[in-house]
Amino acid sequence: MSTFNFHGDINGPANIGDHGRIEINHGADAAQSLRLAAELVDRLRTENPPLVAQAEVVRGELARAGQDGAAPDRGRVRSALETISVGVAAGSGGLALAQELSRVLGL
């Protein structure tokens, strides 16, 4: 089940109110997502070095998107995070970071 944070008034065919807007927020801004990706790279360097390249893909894609002012390539990021999730040990910090990134990016 997905959850969405609604901020402000809601307006539309099923909602009553003036100046309504719906804002879907997954809980993190671009800078926080980039910090999580950098932390994932650092964590995997110690926990699982073969997966560092996949973490670098995530960090690079988020950095590129931030510089260009565009959305990251969600398919590329999702694929890299799934590879990391399969390759790290259950209960590890790397898995927790990969899952958190997936959550905040809405993947």
Q: Is the pLDDT of residue 17 over 50?
A: no
Average pLDDT, the chain: 76
Per cent of the chain over pLDDT 70 is 74
Q: Global pTM?
A: 0.68
Distance CA 18, CA 41 (A): 46
The domain segmentation of the chain, as residue ranges, is 26-105
Q: What pLDDT, on a 0 to 100 scale, did the predictor assign at position 31?
A: 79
Sign (positive/negative) of CA torsion 101, 50, 75, 78? negative
